[in-house]
Amino acid sequence: MKKKAVTLVSVMIFVAIVLAACGGSSGAGNSDGSTETTTLRLAENHPDDYPTAIGDKEFARLVEEKTDGRYVIEVYAGGQLGEESEVLEQAQLGTIDLARVNSIPLAQFSQDIGVLSMPYLFEDEDKKWEKLNGEVGQDLLATLDGSNLVGLAFYDSGERSFYNTKRPVENPEDMAGLKIRVQNSELAIDIVEALGASATPMEYGEVYSALQTGVIDGAENNFPSYYTSNHYNVSQYFTVNGYQGNPEVLLASESLWNDLSDEDKEAFREAALESVEVQREAWAELTEESREAVLEAGSELVEVDDISEWRDAVQPVYDKYGDQFGDWIDRLAE
Ligand code: GTR
């Protein structure tokens, strides 16, 4: 929620008190001579030192710099502002200004963005990031138009793999009958079902106890999430099959966006794109670190030498969505 302080001294004092009470802040005396600071809230569901949160903070720093301090962004990490679906709803309503979310739940607002969650879509990391940071990426983000959300940039989320509490899974047949938690997305359900497992959509914050109590047998995620969520403590078999390379998305609520001048919109967009580098460096580091940490803690990593049987097993997903995503798949592969 935006909080504005205006020049009249008495009003400023009043606003400062209100803002302090709400956890916001206000300031005066920017380098451009203006006396107005707008404090924005950015929702982040990972811990404060997780790579996406590091990216968010770099974005915040750059926005502040580029707008001469007229915009201050406070990052609310650790899911303080709610689970991903609640955050998305609030961003649509404009009660949360900015958010970093995963691209899978965004597919409910832009079917096109779903293409990024297609299994085994990306083969080359450099190319993937050239595309996501370039015109195709911006065109994909623009498909959110009409959803009250404005996509700014993609962040790295590596590759997702399956893990479970029951047994080492070496090939798709071993997935049979496992109850796997997925994000809230039809495509995610279809992938798990193509593999012969059953899919249970659930919020991220509920997965740990669902694994612990046996409500589900497994889930899927990248190494950093598997590690920092402590899922590795309750789900020891991790199959390194990197089946999905969908990125994270930094976005703004349209209500914030409509309040920004064209110049400030440009500053926000630039800041978002520039923050990607710092986020990706942090990502690479934590990916290594978390892989080692879970191994040390006793996780059993099943390395998949031949990914082709996994690719073949998810072919029904390409049969179902191939036409719908065809043009995007071509553009991402060009
Ligand atoms: C993580 C992602 C989160 C959340 C989570 C999930 O990789 O960073 O935003 O989407 O996965 O599986 O729900």
pTM of the model: 0.91
CATH number attached to the domain at 160-245+296-333: 3.40.190.170
- Ligand 1 pocket test, pick from 42, 44, 45, 81 with the greatest ligand atom count within 8 Å of Cβ, gives 45
Q: Compute the distance from residue 106 Cα to the ligand 1 centre, in Å.
A: 12
**Tokens encoding 230:** 């402590």
Q: How many Cα atoms are found within 13 Å in the side-chain-facing hemisphere of 288?
A: 5
Average pLDDT on 12-40 reads: 54
Domain ranges of the chain: 36-158+246-286, 160-245+296-333
The two tokens of residue 5 are 């302080």
Alpha-carbon distance of 234 to 165, in angstroms, equals 7
The answer to whether residue 111 scores a pLDDT higher than 70 is: yes
Give the whole-angstrom CA distance, residue 58 versus residue 73: 10
Residue-level pLDDT at 2: 47
Tokens of 324: 């719908």
Closest-CA residue to 271 (of 5, 68, 12)? 68
Percentage of residues in the chain having pLDDT higher than 90: 89
Q: Ligand 1 centroid to 102 CA: how many Å? A: 6
| 36-158+246-286 and 160-245+296-333 have identical folds | yes
Q: Measured from the CB, is residue 117 less than 6 Å from ligand 1? A: no
> Taking residues 67-92, what's their average pLDDT?
98
Ligand 1 centroid distance, CA of 151 (Å): 17
Nearest CA to ligand 1 atom 10: 102
Q: Ligand 1 centroid vs 230 CA: distance in angstroms?
A: 13
Q: Give the pLDDT of residue 305.
A: 87
Please give the distance of CA 93 from its chain centroid, rounded to a whole number.
Answer: 19
Q: Could you read off the pLDDT of 232-288 as tens digits, one per residue?
A: 999 999 999 999 999 999 999 999 999 999 999 999 999 999 999 999 999 999 999
Could you give the CA distance from residue 227 to residue 290 in angstroms, rounded to a whole number? Answer: 6
Tokens encoding 236: 């020891």
| Pair 161, 195: CB distance under 8 Å | no
Q: Which CATH superfamily is domain 36-158+246-286 in?
A: Bacterial extracellular solute-binding protein, family 7 (3.40.190.170)
Report residue 263 as tokens. Answer: 């110049």
Q: Is pLDDT larger for residue 82 or for residue 15? A: 82
Q: Residue 4 gets which letter from DSSP?
A: B
Pick 305 or 87 by higher pLDDT.
87
What is the pLDDT of the chain when averaged over all its residues?
92
